């Protein structure tokens, strides 16, 4: 099978820990071939969704900490997306309008016979923070609004809350507002752009000190290990990008309960790979754009996460 990765520029990837690279390696090990393209390489010509993609191969034994772990095997060529055995949308956020346009083109390509994962419409229709509202029974008390009075009332009711932008990633823009917060007005004014931008507020979950767990759902099934991203001392964000430390651990009974509820519903929508963020007993985000943590879990537990993905992709394209 010829697999196309729509991805960020390869030289920017940290191949030694990148989940997309782990996917590539698992696919190549099974005899599949690869091409890569940037988001901007997608185009529509006379109604046909096409891509200018470059075929690559992985360099056996390469140092994944360097930049020579792949090489081109031919010149970039234009081709309809429907000619590939699978198209993997692995472009990292930000989820901006260019990303939205890409999901529209990928959706049109699916109508023309392309097999796209994650499903383009499903990616677009599952904003990663807002998506938890579909599973409100699994989430901590949550408010989504740009109304300052509502945000202040929510804070007064719960006393200790987390506020964050809806389009942030890597822990950016997240604030903890405790019972006494002298900068409450300034923080809310900044995040909402004086009431012009919608944000999310959630009751603070003290179990964050034990880690913000990433639970991977692949092909409708949960990987049996989560990566608990444990915050630095004095920090409320467990994101690895914010200095959190990743510790792999078996799924708890509650983790499995959550996965059993969420996984089948999302898999039916064509979401082949999903990353649930879970703190304590609560889901805090549903990541569908480019879920990560494959390598960290595999290295610490020996479980072949990328192999599980490759099996799921083969099954989905059969």
Rounded Cα–Cα distance for residues 131 and 129 (Å): 5
- Let me know if 33 is exposed, middle or buried by CB neighbors in 10 A (0-12, 13-18, 19+): middle
Phi, psi dihedral angles at 166 (to 5 degrees): -80, -15
- How is residue 177 written in tokens? 């507002």
**How far apart, in whole angstroms, are the C-alpha atoms of residue 220 and residue 274?**
9
Whole-Å CA distances, 143 to 30, 162, 169, 301, 311: 46, 10, 19, 37, 38
d(CA 111, CA 305): 30
- How far apart CA 104 and CA 102 sit, in angstroms, is 5
Rounded Cα distance between 71 and 50, Å, is: 23
Could you list the active site residues? 129, 164, 214, 229, 237, 277, 285, 287
Among the residues of the chain, which ranges form H helices? Answer: 19-29, 97-111, 120-124, 148-158, 184-191, 253-267, 294-301, 305-317
In DSSP terms, 145 is beta-bridged to 199
Packing angle of the helix pair 19-29, 294-301 (nearest 10 deg): 70
Which residues lie closer than 8 Å to 169 by C-beta, 6 or more apart? Answer: 92, 93, 94, 241
């Amino acid at each position: 099978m010829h697999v196309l990765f729509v991805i960020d520029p390869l030289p920017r990837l940290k191949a030694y820990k990148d989940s997309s690279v782990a996917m590539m390696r698992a696919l190549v090990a099974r005899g599949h071939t690869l091409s890569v393209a940037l988001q901007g390489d997608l185009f529509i010509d006379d109604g046909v969704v096409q891509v200018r993609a470059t075929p690559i191969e992985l360099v056996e034994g390469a140092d994944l900490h360097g930049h020579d772990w792949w090489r081109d095997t031919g010149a970039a060529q234009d081709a309809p997306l429907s000619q590939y055995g699978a198209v993997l949308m692995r472009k990292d956020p930000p989820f901006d309008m260019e990303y939205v346009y890409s999901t529209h083109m990928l959706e049109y390509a699916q109508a023309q016979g392309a097999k796209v994962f994650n499903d383009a419409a499903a990616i677009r229709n599952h904003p990663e923070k807002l998506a938890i509202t579909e599973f409100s029974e699994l989430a901590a008390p949550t408010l989504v609004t740009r109304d300052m009075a509502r945000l202040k009332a929510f804070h007064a009711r719960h006393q200790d809350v987390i506020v964050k932008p809806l389009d942030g990633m890597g822990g950016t823009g997240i604030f903890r507002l405790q019972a006494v917060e002298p900068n409450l007005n300034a923080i809310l004014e900044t995040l909402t752009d004086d009431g012009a931008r919608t944000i999310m507020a959630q009751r603070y979950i003290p179990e964050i000190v034990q880690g913000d767990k990433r639970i991977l759902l692949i092909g409708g099934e949960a990987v049996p290990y989560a990566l608990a991203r444990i915050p630095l001392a004095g920090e409320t964000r467990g994101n690895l990008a914010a200095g959190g430390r990743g510790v792999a651990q078996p799924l708890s009974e509650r983790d499995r309960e959550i996965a059993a509820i969420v996984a089948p519903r999302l898999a039916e929508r064509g979401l082949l790979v999903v990353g649930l963020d879970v703190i304590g007993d609560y889901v805090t985000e549903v990541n569908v754009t480019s879920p990560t943590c494959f390598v960290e879990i595999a290295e610490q537990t020996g479980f072949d996460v990328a192999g599980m993905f490759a099996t799921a992709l083969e099954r989905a394209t059969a």
